[in-house]
Amino acid sequence: MNEEIPLRDQILETSRHFLFEKGHSSLSMRKIANKIGVSATSIYLYFDNKDHLLHTLIEESVEELSVAIELAAEEANGPIDRFEAIINGYVDFAFNKPEKYQVIYMVRSEAMARYPKEKFRKARRCYELLVKTIQEGIAKRVIKVEKPMVAAYSIWAQLHGVVSVVLNQRLDSRIDRKEFLKESVNHIVEGFLVRTTVS
Amino acid sequence: MNEEIPLRDQILETSRHFLFEKGHSSLSMRKIANKIGVSATSIYLYFDNKDHLLHTLIEESVEELSVAIELAAEEANGPIDRFEAIINGYVDFAFNKPEKYQVIYMVRSEAMARYPKEKFRKARRCYELLVKTIQEGIAKRVIKVEKPMVAAYSIWAQLHGVVSVVLNQRLDSRIDRKEFLKESVNHIVEGFLVRTTVS
DNA sequence: TTTACTGGTTAACACTGTTAACTAACCCAA
DNA sequence: TTGGGTTAGTTAACAGTGTTAACCAGTAAA
């Protein structure tokens, strides 16, 4: 196909495209290779096996997601602002680059079980950032949670749940996607904030 | 294997077992058949194809989950009680029968994309129940949400997110599972309740 | 000019879902 | 009692899968 960009990148690119377009079950080494115009076994020059290829794909996406979140968090000042920036960063990434976000969870259960733990830890950069932000919020008495680490994990989980329902089109057709998202995220966020005024 | 129970049930049982034990990627028609002691093609006497088999598995689990939740909800009185009963019913089912709960989401993205929409609607029985409960709570001024239907969906999504993080062992080892669950569920619930007293 | 390495190739193996054609056992009517 | 039809399964085969082993052309260095 393209002579310029290295084969390894072409493989990753094509895989991601395939995965997102045709779904995970119809992603085969031979098809990837075919699309690129190369023999199937060439892939094994760059990846140990299909698992390794998928893991690399995940890793890439996780990295990009992390960067996106960190970037969003940077330009915020004050814990509440940063708190919201992180969450919105997550959601925005999921919807702006669904083909990358989806990879992280699409492959999940099967390949993920074999995903090396130490690589998974990479995703924790954002986790630490969120924890730090929460702790900061607690210190300034604007966020109220018992265990920041638990809360942070819970937030990721909830966010993923909400986002994936929308992305996988499992949402009731009577419900507006944007509204659902806004409302859900809002609920997640507000639950952790110290309420300012109560009527 | 067993001569008494009908083959169809044996297939489902064995499949579920396999799925939960060995993971989804190593679930093959031939292996299932082998385990039962029957030829692989016999499965096609009862299921159109592998997809159909998986869908049936999902359907069964969804039905059981629904029943469990409805049962839990029945013995509650008052909207708040029922609200909590539903949520706890969900979580309890997930942890008491993980091999059934997991099926619902394990197979997900790939087979789910082809899962017939009308069957999916079956799962909505619980959804309607939850919506009704929320509306009741609103009427009695103990629950406060803008859009009950949106909130209900959001709750499922959040619950699933939280539960699956634990089930898939993606939880940081420093965090206690039970505590995480309690805290997370608690946060989800409390977010919707009208706060009684604030210091 | 040989040697070793780089970046690929083809052929083959064991396994997958699925279909078509066959078979053995039973039930029931002639 | 024979024969036909249905039921519940079988075997053989096809196309496609991940993966390995063996091979090969070109380049760079000795």
CATH code for position B25: 1.10.10.60
Average pLDDT, chain B: 88
In this predicted structure, what is the pLDDT of residue B183? 87
Q: Are residues B29 and B113 in the same domain?
A: no
Q: Is residue B111 in a domain?
A: yes
**What residues in B contact A159, CB-CB < 8 Å?**
161
Taking the CA of residue A100 and the nearest CA in chain B, the distance in Å comes to 15
In this predicted structure, what is the pLDDT of residue B113? 63
Tens place of pLDDT per residue across chain A (199 aa)? 445 799 999 999 999 999 989 888 889 999 999 999 999 999 999 999 999 999 999 999 999 999 999 999 999 999 999 999 999 999 999 999 998 998 887 765 556 667 776 777 777 789 999 999 999 999 999 999 888 988 898 898 889 888 888 887 778 888 888 888 898 898 888 888 886 544 4
Output the DSSP codes for A62-105.
Answer: HHHHHHHHHHHHHT--SHHHHHHHHHHHHHHHHHHSHHHHHHHH
In this predicted structure, what is the pLDDT of residue B199? 43
Helices then strands, counting H and E runs in chain B, come out as 10, 0
Q: Are residues A65 and A134 in the same domain?
A: yes
Q: What is the dihedral of CA B17, B23, B28, B32, to 10 degrees?
A: -10
Q: Is residue B54 in a domain?
A: no
pLDDT, greater one: B30 or B147: B30
| CB B41 within 7 Å, strand C | yes
What is the DSSP code (8-state) at residue A121?
G
- Percent of chain B's residues with pLDDT above 90: 55
Average of per-residue pLDDT across B99-104: 88
Q: Are residues A171 and A87 in the same domain?
A: yes
Give residue-wise pLDDT tens across range B108-136.
Answer: 555 666 777 677 677 778 999 999 999 99
* Contact status, residue B7 vs residue B38, Cβ threshold 8 Å: yes
Q: Are residues B88 and B185 in the same domain?
A: yes
Q: Are residues B22 and B66 in the same domain?
A: no
**What is the total count of domains within chain A?**
2
pLDDT of residue B23 exceeding 50: yes
Residue A168: which H helix or E strand, with range? none
Q: Is residue A54 in a domain?
A: no
In this predicted structure, what is the pLDDT of residue A161? 81
Q: Which two tokens stand for residue B40?
A: 């692989």
The three-class DSSP label of residue A140 is coil
Distance CA B81, CA B73 (A): 8
The verdict on A120 touching B (C-beta cutoff 8 Å) is yes
HSE value, Cβ hemisphere, 13 Å, CA-based, for A107? 28
Question: Which of A181-190, B7-16, B149-158: highest mean pLDDT?
Answer: B7-16
Structural domain boundaries, residue B35: 1-47
Output the DSSP codes for B83-131.
Answer: HHHHHHHHHHHHHHSHHHHHHHHHSHHHHHHTS-HHHHGGGHHHHHHHH
Q: Are residues A85 and A135 in the same domain?
A: yes
In this predicted structure, what is the pLDDT of residue B110? 57
In this predicted structure, what is the pLDDT of residue B8? 97
Distance CA A160, CA B78 (A): 31
> Which of residues 137 through 166 in chain A touch B, CB cutoff 8 A?
146-147, 149-151, 153-154, 156-162, 164-165
Rounded to 5 degrees, φ, ψ at B193 are -85, 145
Q: Which two tokens stand for residue A145?
A: 């949670």
Q: How confident is the model at residue B1 (pLDDT cuts 50, 70, 90)?
A: very low
Cβ count within 10 A of residue B94: 24
| CB B34 within 7 Å, strand D | no
In this predicted structure, what is the pLDDT of residue A1? 43
Q: How far are the Cα atoms of A90, B77, B181 from residue A78, in angstroms, in the given order?
A: 18, 44, 29
Closest alpha carbon within chain B to A160: B161
What is the DSSP code (8-state) at residue A175?
S
